[in-house]
Amino acid sequence: QQQVKQSPQSLIVQKGGISIINCAYENTAFDYFPWYQQFPGKGPALLIAIRPDVSEKKEGRFTISFNKSAKQFSLHIMDSQPGDSATYFCAYQAGTALIFGKGTTLSVSS
Amino acid sequence: DAGITQSPRHKVTETGTPVTLRCHQTENHRYMYWYRQDPGHGLRLIHYSYGVKDTDKGEVSDGYSVSRSKTEDFLLTLESATSSQTSVYFCAISPEYNEQFFGPGTRLTVL
């Protein structure tokens, strides 16, 4: 079963700091790598996504970095805010399905 | 939640009873999905649909069936609920098979 390994499981960051979440995948055939943000009691919301033909994509304070040779991609949250406290999931497209990491719970302390 | 509703939002049932969860979309998207979310497992695909009456199995399909008779509705049925099916169930929709948008979820407890 294909999987994506996400780390860390939990993360505590000071307000204004940088949050970094990493994911590693196994198969180089995938072509779509999204990140989802989930607040308690809510469904996951698409945050940002990247395709492997670019190495970085930035949207506001959120940046995806993609390293195709290392089969890794990461989410950076700059100037982290208490409102960013949530669970973050990386994923990749495998055929019709998305394969998700197990999630990272981010707490931003004020 | 991108024009997706799920019903019921919460349900408690007993082992052995049938349960049907409904996903309704107003976006006219082709693809619809059912996932379950469990602590330590993330989100796992149960079944998906790529059109009316066109469905296929996902990673954790055992014990579940689905039906899609209209573009806007995708039903998930547990024929005989078991305690291992206690979970939060999410429906997702997609215009094509990349961007997926999730509904608010249904919390199911099987006693």
pLDDT at A62: 97
Instruction: Name the residue type at position B43.
Output: L
* A96: closest chain B residue by CA: B97
Smallest CA–CA distance, residue A100 to chain B, in Å, is 6
| Contact assignment for B90 to A1 by CB distance below 8 Å | no
Name which of A34, A41, A96 is nearest B50 (Cβ-Cβ). Answer: A96
- Asked if B103 and B63 count as a contact pair (C-beta separation under 8 A), the reply is no
Name which of B45, B90, B105 is nearest A97 (Cβ-Cβ). Answer: B45
**pLDDT tens-digit readout, B58-99:** 989 999 999 999 999 999 999 999 999 999 999 999 988 678
Burial A73-85 (b: 16+ CB within 10 A, else e): bbbbbeebeeebb
**pLDDT tens-digit readout, A58-109:** 999 999 998 888 889 999 999 999 999 999 999 998 887 888 999 999 999 9
**How is residue B47 annotated by DSSP?**
E
Pick among A96, A99, A102, A104 to test the B interface (most B CBs inside 10 A): A96
Instruction: Name the residue type at position B65.
Output: S
- For chain A, give the percent of residues with pLDDT over 90: 71
Q: Stretch B30-44: mean pLDDT, rounded?
A: 92
pLDDT at A26: 84
Chain A residues lying within 8 Å of B48, measured CB to CB: 96-97
Smallest CA–CA distance, residue B51 to chain A, in Å, is 13
